[in-house]
Amino acid sequence: MATNTSRDAAKKAAQSGTMTPKQIWIVLIGLMSGMFLAALDQSVVGAAMRTIADDLGGLSLQAWATTAYLITSTVSTPIYGKLGDIFGRRPLFIIGIVIFIIGSATAGFATSMFELAAFRALQGLGAGGLFSLALTIVADIVPPKERAKYQGMFLAVFGTSSVLGPVIGGAFAGAGEFLFIDGWRWIFLMNLPIGAVSLFMVITFLHVPHTPQPQKIDWWGATTIVLAVVPILLVAEQGREWGWGSPLSIAMYVTGVFGIVSFIMIEKRMGSAALIPLSLFKNATFARTQVLGFIMGIGMFGGMIVLPLIIQVVYGASPTQAGLLMLPMVAGMMTATIVSGRVMSATGKYRIFFNTGTAVLFFGYLYMLLMMNASTPIWVISIGMILIGLGLGQLMQTTMVASQNSVAGKDIGVATSSVTFFRQMGGTLGVAVFMSILFGTVGEKISGAFSRPEVTEGLASATSDPSVLNDPANQAILGILQSGPAAGDQITLDSSFMIGADERLTLPFRIGFVESSLTVFFVAIFFVAAAFVVSWFIKEIPLREKSASQEAADAAGMSH
């Protein structure tokens, strides 16, 4: 009975375009559970991938399971945004959850890496809508001035999931069997009950007002965005393996450029019906915010991709422990997100957070460059993580709020999906660039470390110590060290030989890995500096007092 009353109240609120704080929170819980699914799935699989690949007999194919999810989730994001504007957010969000649940169920019972990659692609097809549509629905029901406060909760969910992912993934991967099913399969199967709860909440309480916008569907735009994005993402993910100048990589560059040019020409012709209307980019605030989001996507992944690896390789932590040791960064991110959201709601000002966010992130990377070496205590690194988190927390929601606030209510879906799309593209390119720098230089850095006095002395004392030579934990690394400086290349294939080994034996590898990581931070800091410069050219538009649905309801009332 109570549920029926709540449902009726939600429908009534949807018609007027105004919702009470209680109704907003009920909707938000459903949206956050849906978004939690998509965000968790990005990080949970990585920690367990080695176990999964061993079980399915396809270690060499493991990257495709990640790439497939990334491609479909990125490509489908702007498509969901546009279809949501035309047909309404609610049916699209329900479709996204259902596709994600089906993808999760099939991935949980995959019997080969090829099957897993295909089912992960299906998951990604659902996930592409969950993140952008959730934030669009918030824009529908909450005015820009209040929005940062609520979106902060979403980004806190995103940050929490990035830490919980490796912990949960590591735990399931190490469980062997649970309820007569392989432990790693529960990484996908756990999405079923969470998804079912989210689906119930959304169907029952999510009655978002929608003003129909009948227009042509931009099928050619959807086709050419696939042609533009897929080759770029493929070469970004696989380029190190293929070779950046290989015929296959060159074919991807050519196809991608052809796709981009075709997409722009079609979008120009489609006008307001375009998948991403080019007229939005005539708005300087919107255009510059997308540029900032793309650059930040590249820059932020410098720290986010390297830090978990440093914690595992240099400090010997397991994936589960690495997830927990990343908590300072998440704490910084959540604090900055919530505080900046409240300040935005109170003052209506947001540009200051572009300026301070990029500045704090810059100093976070600079701190790492100055303070980090192979013997730096983990608590010193944690201070740098807090700074990086404080910078990211100010930027992630501010780009979203600024973009949504700069467009008309009818374009809110396209604006939200554009922010997500450009940030994801920047992030993917960032990961490709920084992983190439890291693994392209690490072998040489390790080889160079062998000539250092502290390394030669340490190796001499360790290899003359019978307890070190007879310790089973040292056998793998002793075998690798026999090849001398050439041993550095081994770490790009597998770093497990360092686990539990004597610190004197691992020293050259730790020095080399840290020095390669510092190169990544050095390059990343230039992207962050560029973002800082762009942030000063973003014109602040006062935050509107009405939600997108209130504006639409008012406009509909005036037209009658």
Range of 119-133, 224-238, 406-420, 467-481 with top mean pLDDT: 119-133
Q: Are 48 and 176 in contact (CB under 8 A)?
A: no
- Grouping H, G, I as helix, E, B as strand and the rest as coil, residue 217 is coil
Residue 319's pLDDT is 65
Range scoring the smallest mean pLDDT among 326-330, 391-395, 492-496? 492-496
Higher pLDDT pick, 211 / 88: 88
**C-alpha–C-alpha distance, residues 156 and 80, integer Å:** 23
Does the structure show a pLDDT above 60 at 230?
Answer: yes
Do 29 and 11 sit in the same domain of this protein?
Answer: yes
Residue 519 CA to residue 303 CA, distance in Å, equals 11
pLDDT tier at 364, thresholds 50, 70, 90: very high
Whether residues 110 and 244 share a domain: the answer is no
266 phi/psi in degrees, rounded to 5: -70, -40
Co-location of 81 and 167 in the same domain: yes
On whether both 247 and 122 belong to a single domain, the answer is no
CA distance 299 to 296: 5
- Asked whether residue 102 carries a pLDDT value surpassing 90, the answer given is yes
- Highest mean pLDDT: which of 114-118, 145-149, 168-172, 474-478? 114-118
| pLDDT at 21 (0 to 100) | 74
Nearest partner of 396 among 304, 279, 284, 521, judged by Cα: 304
Within a domain: 435: no
Q: Which of 544, 556, 419, 554 lies closest to 143, judged by CA?
A: 544
Residue 387 lies in a domain: no
Q: pTM of this prediction?
A: 0.80
Do 176 and 262 fall into the same domain? no
Residue 344 has pLDDT above 80, yes or no: yes
In the prediction, which pLDDT does 8 show? 57
- Residue 529 pLDDT > 90: yes
Q: Is residue 512 part of a domain?
A: yes
The last residue of one of the domains, among 518, 534, 555, is 518
CA 54/CA 60 separation, integer angstroms: 10
Q: Which residues contact 17 (CB under 8 A, 6 or more apart)?
A: 209, 547, 549, 550, 551, 552, 553, 554
Q: Tell me, yes or no, whether 42 and 126 share the same domain.
A: yes
Q: How far apart are CA 560 and CA 554, in angstroms?
A: 10
Quote the pLDDT of residue 210: 62
Can you give the pLDDT at residue 532?
93
CB 443 within 8 A of CB 240: no
Arithmetic mean of pLDDT over the chain: 78
Helix (H/G/I), strand (E/B), else coil: 539 = coil
Q: Which domain holds residue 459?
A: 444-518
Q: Reply yes or no on whether the pLDDT at 396 is more than 70.
A: yes
Structure tokens at 500: 């539990």
143 Rama class: left (phi>0) / alpha (psi -120 to 50) / beta: beta
Look-up of token digits 């209510």: 409
Res 427 pLDDT > 90: no
Tell me if 333 is assigned to some domain. no
501: left (phi over 0), alpha (psi -120 to 50) or beta: beta
- pLDDT of 449: 77
Q: Is 335 among the domain residues?
A: no
Handedness of CA 547, 129, 227, 249 (dihedral sign): positive
Q: Tens digit of pLDDT for each residue in 486-517?
A: 665 666 555 666 677 777 777 778 888 888 88
235 within some domain: yes
Q: For residues 237-254, give the mean pLDDT.
A: 82
Q: Which is more confident, 66 or 298?
A: 298
pLDDT at residue number 359: 94
Residues 117 and 240 in one domain: no
Residues in the chain: 560
Q: What total number of domains does the chain contain?
A: 3
Distance CA 209, CA 164 (A): 34
Do residue 110 and residue 146 come from a single domain? yes
Is 60 exposed, middle or buried (CB count within 10 Å of its CB: 0-12, 13-18, 19+)? exposed
Question: Is 361 or 323 the better-scoring residue by pLDDT?
Answer: 361
| Average confidence (pLDDT) over 352-369 | 91
Kindly state the average pLDDT of the residues 93-105: 91
Which pLDDT tens digit goes with each residue over 551-560?
666 655 554 4
Integer Rg of the chain from CA: 24
Q: Does 307 reside within a domain?
A: no
Q: Are residues 108 and 178 in the same domain?
A: yes
Looking at residue 544, the DSSP 8-state letter turns out to be: P
Q: Of 274, 290, 314, which residue constitutes the final position of a domain?
A: 274
- Is the Cβ–Cβ distance between 43 and 168 less than 8 Å? no
The DSSP annotation for 384-420 comes to: HHHHHHHHHHHHHHHHHHHHHHTS-GGGHHHHHHHHH
Least confident range of 168-182, 227-241, 255-269, 532-546: 168-182
| 552 within a domain of the structure (yes/no) | no
The Cα–Cα gap between 194 and 189 comes to 10
Same domain as 231, residue 187? no
Q: What angle do CA 262, 267, 271 make, to 5 degrees?
A: 155
d(CA 326, CA 304): 9
Segment 1-59, tens digit of pLDDT:
555 555 555 555 555 556 677 777 777 877 887 777 777 776 777 666 666 766 776 55
CATH label of the domain that carries residue 158: 1.20.1250.20
What pLDDT is attached to residue 367?
Answer: 92
Torsion (CA) 142, 147, 150, 155 in degrees, nearest 10: 130
Can you give the pLDDT at residue 387? Answer: 92
